[in-house]
Structure 1
Amino acid sequence: MYLFIFSVLLLIFQYVNSKNIIDKYEEDIVKVKSKLSESEKTVKTLEEQNFELSYFNIEGNEDALTYFEAQGFDTEQLIPAIVEGLYDMNDYEGEDHPMVPYVSMTDSKLLINKIRVLNHKWIIANFTDGEFWGEIFVTYSIDENNDLKYKLVEYLMYPKVN
């Protein structure tokens, strides 16, 4: 009789314990599914934002890439060379930056920070001296000697906000 009661109690204990474990797993599954759903929504939103942000970018502009490829250029080497050409202008002597039409108003040099190649003719870049910021709009071309030529078209300096 004691063995029967002990066996029944053991079975009841195992049943209750197993039910609690299964209920906890089901709760965890529901939480993970909701987090996964939120993550999928976030990924979709970020993909849409990325698509919008990359619209004016040469990597997403098939016509601009085709233009260079038709002229026999390897775009995977050319585009970094275009960007590096502007960054190389940051290494200058004196106070006048070769591309930025302003003079630094601090003790620092004006430097081009960020460059975006828009297509096969246009570049937009920002610059700063650490305190003042601005942007430049540049056109570029490749001459018959395959040298890059940059031409400043438009520029602006943001007013300092205190």
Structure 2
Amino acid sequence: MALFTYSYYAKKVKFETERVEKLKTKLNDTVLHFNNKMVETSYFTLRGNDNAQNHLENYSIEKLISKIENEIMEKNNDPNGNPLVEYGIMNDKKFIINKIQVINHRWIIADFSNGELWGEVLLQYFIEKDESITFNIIKSTLYTK
């Protein structure tokens, strides 16, 4: 009986150890896969674009992105809606920008809505000598319901 018990538990420990090792390998592969996807996804962002960062070498990228996002979001307080959205007021509702992605040293893409309609706008930005930021609308699109 003792031999049977020893044999059973020895095989069980070996089986569980092998199972844990397989799970670790699978987990490492999954983490590597998602890390690669994250790097690929961040390619079209200022944070992931070394060339654009080199162009902005005099600026802290994180502070610049934060400043850009804050300035765009502050424009949502306009009673007529965010002026960076070309559509004004529709159905008595103003458009505001919800999400912002700084693509590189010159372009931004933003998602906007008025609660019923949604769209995206491509913006161009410039950092002026006084460190202020100006924005130009390149193109926007409004999705149909």
2: CA distance between counterparts of 1:130 and 1:42?
Answer: 37
Is 2:128 aligned against 1:143?
yes
Select the structure that is richer in strand.
2
2: CA distance between counterparts of 1:30 and 1:104?
Answer: 63
Greater Cα radius of gyration, structure 1 or 2: 1
Letter in 2 for 1:44: L
Letter in 2 for 1:74: S
Is 2:68 aligned against 1:82?
yes
Q: Equivalent residue of 2:83, what SS?
A: coil
Structure 1 pair 107–31 and aligned structure 2 pair: CA distance change class (3 A): farther
Q: Equivalent residue of 1:55, what SS?
A: helix
Q: TM-score, normalised by structure 2?
A: 0.89
Displaced runs of 4 or more, over 4 A: none
Is 2:41 aligned against 1:53?
yes
Partner residue in 2 for 1:132: 117
Q: What are the ranges of 5 or more consecutive residues in structure 2 without an aligned counterpart?
A: none
Q: Equivalent residue of 1:89, what SS?
A: helix
Q: For structure 1, which segment, 74-83 or 111-120, has the greater mean C-alpha deviation from structure 2 after superposition?
A: 74-83
Give 1:41's match in structure 2, choosing from 29, 36, 53: 29
Q: What are the ranges of 5 or more consecutive residues in structure 1 without an aligned counterpart?
A: 1-12
1: CA distance between counterparts of 2:18 and 2:89?
Answer: 58
Give 1:117's match in structure 2, choosing from 81, 98, 102: 102
Is 2:2 aligned against 1:17?
no
Structure 1 pair 126–23 and aligned structure 2 pair: CA distance change class (3 A): same
Letter in 2 for 1:56: F
Q: For structure 1, which segment, 115-124 or 76-85, has the greater mean C-alpha deviation from structure 2 after superposition?
A: 76-85
2: CA distance between counterparts of 1:76 and 1:111?
Answer: 23
2: CA distance between counterparts of 1:74 and 1:138?
Answer: 21
Q: Indicate if the aligned counterparts of 2:93 and 2:114 stay in contact, CA closer than 8 A.
A: yes
Q: Indicate if the aligned counterparts of 2:47 and 2:61 stay in contact, CA closer than 8 A.
A: no
Q: Equivalent residue of 1:131, what SS?
A: coil
2: CA distance between counterparts of 1:116 and 1:44?
Answer: 25
Structure 1 pair 20–106 and aligned structure 2 pair: CA distance change class (3 A): farther
Give 1:92's match in structure 2, choosing from 67, 73, 78: 78
1: CA distance between counterparts of 2:96 and 2:7?
Answer: 66
Letter in 1 for 2:48: G
2: CA distance between counterparts of 1:77 and 1:48?
Answer: 26
Q: Equivalent residue of 1:99, what SS?
A: coil
Give 2:137's match in structure 1, choosing from 124, 129, 152: 152
Over the aligned positions, Cα root-mean-square deviation in angstroms equals 1.7
Aligned length: 145
